[in-house]
Amino acid sequence: MADLPELAASFTAALHDAGISVGPDRTRGFARALTLLSPRTTRELRHCALTTLVSDRDQIEPFDAVFRTVFGAPTDLEPQRGQPGDPPRTLQAVLSGRVHGARARPTTDERGRETGAQRREEPVPLAASPLDRLATRDFADLSAEELSRLARLMRTIVLRTPARPSRRHRTALHGRRVDVRRTLSTSRRTGGHPLRLRRFVPRTRPRDLIVLCDISGSMEPYARAMLQLLYCATRAAHAEVFTFATRLTRLTPTLRRAGSYDALARAGRTAPDWSGGTRIAECLADFNERYGRRGMAHGAVVVIISDGWDTGTPTDLATHMARLSRVAHRIVWVNPRTANPRYRPLVAGMAAALPYCDAVVSAHNLAALDDFTAALSAPGRRR
């Protein structure tokens, strides 16, 4: 697929030359829509661009003219266009040319109508998308420059947790409980007779998100990438972030104050045990005592990012995991080693924690983060 920023900039520049007002905000929205929706056909691409770039019905006709000029004359812009038996062209074929590396333009007769004559082939330059290159790259193999690019991509990822009922209420037509105060208040209009009952239902709010990230030597390459995602989570989902190796460190205040470029540097200075040993059981016990008893983990979604290597005894880890599971809504364990098809939970720490986990995902690259976000938003328990 073509480079998304280059594609969005060139297409919107052509629209601007055609008299369609397209500002930087719409260009940015078009590029983000391409990233999130990943259109596969020219019809999907047209709908994506039409939604984000056009604001007036009169602009549709010049928009289609520019679209045909940039992407050719697609047969799947509308259901009635093209031959009924023609398969829809994929977006990859439109952006990168056909198998022979060229794009065909239809010839026309003296009246300007398309004919079935020989088509003229023109070379189309190819460009590999940075998103495509990073999507399947393991986080442990990324360079500093690629981590910086990954941080910009991770800002588009939305971390959602399942909803939980709140103590606040909102008015509803078919609520189970009667809002006595509002019912009596509105009965003044009918001489004190409550002709219509007002009802309410509890409001809902997202469950809290708590992340404990292993920064020991075996997890250090993945911790660099995951902390970029957690930096975005603390600013969007208001998550609580902790790191652990030989001790537990709360990073939430540091990540909220830090900018996107110095988040890792500040996190390294705040956590003195970076790339040290691993004491999962002791750090988990510290979390349960200092934060779990205060109610932070009650009804929350807890994410533990670790490969399971622990210098403590497995029975201690199982005890503290069981204690955490009794107060948390869900426990999601992120282990990059599970990406290997031949992986087996033979590590004593991972085997001890597995019975108390609702989901185990790898999240070892950008493509695998879909399983991670799905595990966060799952409504109930599996264990």
Q: CATH code at 215?
A: 3.40.50.410
Distance CA 15, CA 21 (A): 8
Q: Are residues 181 and 62 in the same domain?
A: no
Is residue 9 included in any domain, yes or no?
Answer: yes
- Does residue 211 lie in a domain region? yes
| One domain for residues 246 and 291 | yes
Q: In this structure, are residues 242 and 248 in contact, taking their beta carbons and an 8 Å threshold?
A: yes
Looking at the structure, do residues 30 and 87 belong to the same domain, yes or no? yes
What is the phi/psi pair of residue 292, to 5°?
A: -65, -40
What's the total number of domains in the chain? 3
| Residue 319 and residue 343 share a domain | yes
Run means of pLDDT, 10 residues per run, the chain, 383 residues: 60 81 76 75 82 82 85 48 44 42 43 45 42 73 79 77 83 79 81 79 87 87 81 74 90 74 67 78 93 87 91 91 93 90 82 92 87 86 64
Q: Note the pLDDT of residue 329.
A: 92
Identify whether residues 227 and 191 lie together within a single domain. Answer: no
Final residue of a domain: which of 205, 231, 259?
205
Report how far residue 242's alpha carbon sits from residue 252's, in angstroms, rounded to the nearest whole number: 7
Tell me: do 362 and 284 sit in the same domain.
yes
The answer to the question of residue 157 being in a domain is no
Of 205, 236, 255, which one is at a domain's C-terminal end? 205
Asked if residue 352 and residue 273 are part of one domain, the reply reads: yes
What count of other Cβ atoms lies within 10 Å of the Cβ of residue 298? 13
The answer to the question of residue 29 being in a domain is yes
Residue 84's pLDDT is 43
Q: Are residues 61 and 81 in the same domain?
A: yes
Q: Is residue 315 part of a domain?
A: yes
**Pair 200, 64 in one domain:** no
Q: Which residue bears the tokens 């992340």?
A: 211
Q: How far apart are the C-alpha atoms of 335 and 222, rounded to whole Å?
A: 10
Q: Is 106 left (phi over 0), alpha (psi -120 to 50) or beta?
A: beta
What is the pLDDT, as a whole number, of residue 324? 94
Instruction: Look at residue 333 in the predicted model and tell me its pLDDT.
Output: 94
- Evaluate whether residue 189 is within a structural domain: yes
- pTM of the complete model beyond 0.85: no
Tell me, yes or no, whether 145 lies in a domain: no
Quote the pLDDT of residue 94.
Answer: 42
Q: Which SS3 state, helix, strand or coil, does residue 33 take?
A: helix
Residue 16 domain-assigned (yes or no): yes
Final residue before a domain boundary, out of 205, 234, 258: 205
Phi/psi for 267 (5° steps) reads -65, -40
Give yes or no: residues 201 and 290 share one domain.
Answer: no
Which pLDDT does position 288 carry in this prediction? 94
Domain of 39, in residue numbers: 4-109+119-128
Classify 96 as helix, strand or coil: helix
CA distances from 212 to 103, 179, 256, 262, 330 (A): 51, 42, 16, 20, 14
Check whether residue 169 and residue 268 sit in a common domain: no
Using a 10 angstrom Cβ sphere, with 0-12 exposed, 13-18 middle and 19 or more buried, the burial of residue 217 is middle
Domain shared by 213 and 346, yes or no: yes
pLDDT of residue 102: 36
Identify the three-state secondary structure at position 286.
helix
